[in-house]
Amino acid sequence: MTFTIDTYQNRYLAADSDRVDGILSVTAPGDGMGMAAAAAETVVGLIVDTSGSMAGARIEAAKQAVTSAINMLDANSTFFVVTFQGSAQVICPPAKATDGAKATAAGQIWRVNAHNGTAMSTGLQTARAMFARYPEAIKQAIFLTDGKNESEPTANVTIELQQCAGLFECDCWGVGTDWQVGEVQEIARALLGKASIIPDPQGIAAAFGAAVEKAKAKATRDVRLRIWTPVGTEVVFVKQVFPTIAEFTDSVEALSPQVRQYLTGSWGGGETRDFHVALRVRPGKVGEEMLAARPSVVYSVAGPSGWVEQEDKPPTARLFATWTADDTLSSRLDQHVAHYTGQDELAQVIQAGLERREQGDNAGATHLLGRAVQLADASGNADTTARLKKVVDVVDAPSGTVRLKSNVSKAASMDLQLESTTTRRARKGPGGAASDPGATT
Amino acid sequence: MTETLVCPTCGAPGNPGDRFCEIDGTPLIPSRQSSVAGRSDAPNEPLMTDDTQPATGCVCGLNQDDGDGYCVGCGHRLHADAPPARMPLPNDHIEDAPDDLLAAVTDRGVRHAENQDSFALSLQMIGDVRVPVIVVCDGVSSARHSAIAAAVGARTCHDALVESFVVRRPSSVISEGSSGISRQSPIIREQSSGIGDALPAPLTTDGGRRTTAQAMRAAILAAHEAICALDDAPGTSDLGPPGATIVAAVALPDRFLLGWVGDSRAYRVSNGASRALTRDDSWMEDALARGESAAEAIHSPYAHAITHCLGPLEEGTPEPNITEAPRTSGGMLLLCTDGFWNYAPDATLVAKLVQGLSRPDATALDHCRALVAHALAGGGHDNVTVAIAVLDAPHDAGAETIPAVAASIPEGHNERGAGDEPAPPSEETSDDVHD
């Protein structure tokens, strides 16, 4: 069983054109991966904010959620729990999730109290020290906070994240609405994870449960997208575009002038992620045909006697460039590229629109969020449309006519901001209809 | 005059008496091979301007195969053998001219790999009046089976028009409003001493009457149905379902009858002046109607996109544009696809082109060839088709020549739809000149 890569592009370029765009839809092997997941050594680390603001319902809900999450683990998984305020403590040292260890952990968690301020880098640093003991395992952190990182300089987190990146992955949650989306997203982005909002403490248990299920399903680690290109090719960008938008361009590892590699973390069996690759190639002459990119997937998979390193290079996974004088061929836009470019624009206008709203520029916010409604409607992204409707009243979706709501809950606005990078998958199969402006005679 | 009929898509010659290709069912068309200056049609010779076959070879000097036929250095395709030359297709260049006053030429152009334009035309007689029937179609290049769609569309519409106006008793098609009175009962036409009397008198399928506009609309919709009926399985193609434009003209004894869907056009050229009779179903026209400036709109990626066409690509039934105008004599009717008018974007230039490119005594075929050559010389970015009916004064509707074209074709008379408005009375009509 191997990774598969489906490619989507319009391979025809006008003479002198040097831009190649393609979508790589990468799917992890599904069959037989249940066993690999079970065999994979997994370390789950919970990093929990126990600052003074967590006191009361929040800390009680968090403690229950941590305990339930640990109880879901198999006996061959390892877990630990770190709490942090102004400094960090290891309240449950790393241990295999045996019944005995789970019981001991429950007691240790029960004794936790909330007090003092918030310095997130301390929690991350301590977790890193724990994860570092397991170089060969799948390492997944679950991070919870409720407030701003006010007890330390902002740079501390940025510096700490540079050490953590590539070592473990982390999904982050903010409970309530007093925390800063940007701070939490910085952690998630650096550690290949997602940032989400839990408006009400009762939701913490479900969020942690889902995170543990996801960690248990991981069967491959250190999955790298490796891309060969011809001499002289520049990468304009490499972005994940499904299930969320995530930038990979700057985290490139250049193995050689022609081979570049991007670390994407651990994948579950059967998981699919789509990537948009944009290249600048040496232009050819009309009639010339060139192999513009050859992607492959390099990863470690758990086998019966330990981890096995593997490279999957599907023979049909290739991006081409064919130069032509026929501009009906070169002017066509591949529908997958168009769809994800639209989803990317959608994410950007949501962010920009929310920023304008924060700044009090209602006219600007209305215009941008109207455009977002139009894009979400046109691409069938129903989840994003539903979230937008909590911030604007939609007069006419196809034309993007909206009115800002006067009363918008902070949670709804933060949720929209966090989920703006969640995309809808491009439809497979041929597209194009009379409504497609690409229909020229 | 015997004509060789060939299939426009597979090139097989038709058996005598066949109307459809026995291999793929495409309607057969007359074909007269003719070379156009500047392009070679010799078989087996690679066409220098053709770029659909990739060139071969490494460009970096390393020339090392990666195992799949591409160089590990520059990525260019490596080949041992030269690629096969592109075989010329029979519909790369087709001409038809029933006589000196009626002709059409279609050409693949310079850049496209296939000619997806088509035409169908014939010279009919109603009494002793020359009635040219011309249909021109342009297959949507981002759609499947475009060449067949255009050929089927043109042939189906042409045959339906001939059926309505000539084969059937003309009385079953009513010209309303020549004298301002709409006729309720069929009237035998004494002057239809030609084709009409020799045949039995079929009525329209519902036993009723139709206006000329309704007959044109029905003919275009028949073409639409024929394209929808094409056997179309997408397979792995990323092209859309079949689609084509259409422009059709019948020069009836008392009126010009035009119908169209898409951006293929008809012009009236007379006394050194010319104007468009059609208005494109295009994004550009919509933009101009919204008040955008042409200078800006031309830069939009949608600048050459059409808004309606025939076939399943339309996703519904298109509503044909119909227009009628009193028949005038002198000058010509010119029908064409965008592969021509993109090289003559201003309607008023068309007359100048006609004058400038041909001798005064040129035949319709000479005119068509000259205008097609003009488009090819300009770059030939698209398939190009030009059809011309010269309206000679003595043999036409018996009317006086109306000098100013603009004055005789009323503004705003273009209709979309069933054409239930009667044609305005023309000053010179006398009672014995009717359908």
Give which of B48, B49, B65, B76 to mutate to test A binding, by max A Cβ within 10 Å.
Answer: B76
pLDDT (0 to 100) of residue A284? 86
Least reliable range by pLDDT among A345-354, B43-52, B114-123: B43-52
Asked if residue B429 has pLDDT above 60, the reply is no
Q: How many CB atoms lie within 10 A of CB A213?
A: 12
Measured between beta carbons, the chain A residues lying within 8 angstroms of B76 are 230, 284, 288-291
- Quick one: CA torsion of A108, A109, A112, A114, rounded to 10 degrees? 160
Strands A169-175 and A195-198: what pairing?
A: parallel
The verdict on a CB contact (< 8 Å) between B142 and A430 is: no
Helix (H) or strand (E) holding A110: helix A99-110
The whole-number average pLDDT for the span B149-167 is 93
**Which of A3, A95, A2 is closest to A45 using CA atoms?**
A95
Looking at per-residue pLDDT, the higher value among B304 and B278 belongs to: B278
Q: Nearest CB to B75: which of A290, A334, A432?
A: A290
The verdict on a CB contact (< 8 Å) between A430 and B240 is: yes
pLDDT (0 to 100) of residue B402? 33
Half-sphere exposure of B159 (CA within 13 A, CB side): 13
CA-nearest residue to A319 within chain B is: B75
Report residue B42 as tokens.
């010799």
- Rounded (5°) CA angle A252-A129-A91: 135
| Helix, strand, coil percentages in chain B from 3-state DSSP, rounded to 5 | 20, 25, 55
The whole-number average pLDDT for the span A63-90 is 95
pLDDT (0 to 100) of residue A426? 83
The verdict on a CB contact (< 8 Å) between B262 and A331 is: no
Inter-residue contact B90 to B8 (CB < 8 Å): yes
pLDDT tens column, B95-149: 999 999 999 999 998 878 789 999 999 999 988 889 999 999 999 988 888 999 9
pLDDT tens column, A180-226: 999 999 999 999 999 999 999 999 999 999 999 999 999 899 999 99
- Provide DSSP, A291-347: EEEEEEEEEEEEETTEEEEEEE--TT--EEEEEES-HHHHT---HHHHHHHHHHHHH
Q: Nearest CB to B51: which of A326, A334, A431?
A: A326
Backbone angles phi, psi at B135, to 5 degrees: -130, 135
Q: What CA–CA distance (Å, rounded) separates B320 from B417?
A: 6
Least reliable range by pLDDT among A43-52, A422-431, B408-417: B408-417
Question: What is the share, in percent, of chain A residues with pLDDT greater than 90?
Answer: 76
The verdict on a CB contact (< 8 Å) between B66 and A291 is: yes
Looking at per-residue pLDDT, the higher value among B61 and A427 belongs to: B61
Any bridge partners for residue A163, and if so which?
Answer: none
Q: How confident is the model at residue B280 (pLDDT cuts 50, 70, 90)?
A: very high
The mean pLDDT value of chain A amounts to 91
Q: What CA–CA distance (Å, rounded) separates B107 from B60?
A: 39
Please state, in angstroms and as integers, the Cα–Cα distance from residue A107 to each residue in A47, A74, A99, A143, A144, following that order. 17, 19, 13, 21, 20
Q: What CA–CA distance (Å, rounded) separates A306 from A31?
A: 19
Provide the 3-class DSSP secondary structure of residue B420.
Answer: coil
Q: Nearest CB to B51: which of A286, A315, A437?
A: A286
pLDDT (0 to 100) of residue B26? 59
Looking at the complex, does the CB of residue A234 fall below 8 Å from at least one CB of chain B? no
Looking at per-residue pLDDT, the higher value among B385 and B170 belongs to: B385
Least reliable range by pLDDT among A232-241, B49-58, B191-200: B191-200
pTM (2 d.p.):
0.58
Predicted ipTM of the assembly: 0.73
Q: What CA–CA distance (Å, rounded) separates A387 from A378?
A: 15
Inter-residue contact B245 to B233 (CB < 8 Å): no
pLDDT (0 to 100) of residue B16? 66
Secondary structure letter of residue B166 according to DSSP = I
Provide the 3-class DSSP secondary structure of residue B254.
Answer: coil
Q: How confident is the model at residue B22 (pLDDT cuts 50, 70, 90)?
A: low
**Which of B245, B259, B247, B232 is closest to B310 using CA atoms?**
B245
Give which of B260, B300, B304 to mutate to test A binding, by max A Cβ within 10 Å.
Answer: B304
The verdict on a CB contact (< 8 Å) between B240 and A229 is: no
pLDDT (0 to 100) of residue A436? 38
Q: Which residues have a Cβ under 8 Å from the Cβ of B48 and sit 6 or more positions away? A: none
Measured between beta carbons, the chain B residues lying within 8 angstroms of A335 are 238
Inter-residue contact A381 to A423 (CB < 8 Å): yes
The verdict on a CB contact (< 8 Å) between A438 and B142 is: yes
Q: What CA–CA distance (Å, rounded) separates A12 from A423?
A: 27
A 304-333: CB under 8 A from B: 315, 318, 322-328, 331-332
Asked if residue B196 has pLDDT above 90, the reply is no
Any bridge partners for residue A240, and if so which?
Answer: A246, A275
- Quick one: CA torsion of B252, B256, B260, B264, rounded to 10 degrees? 110
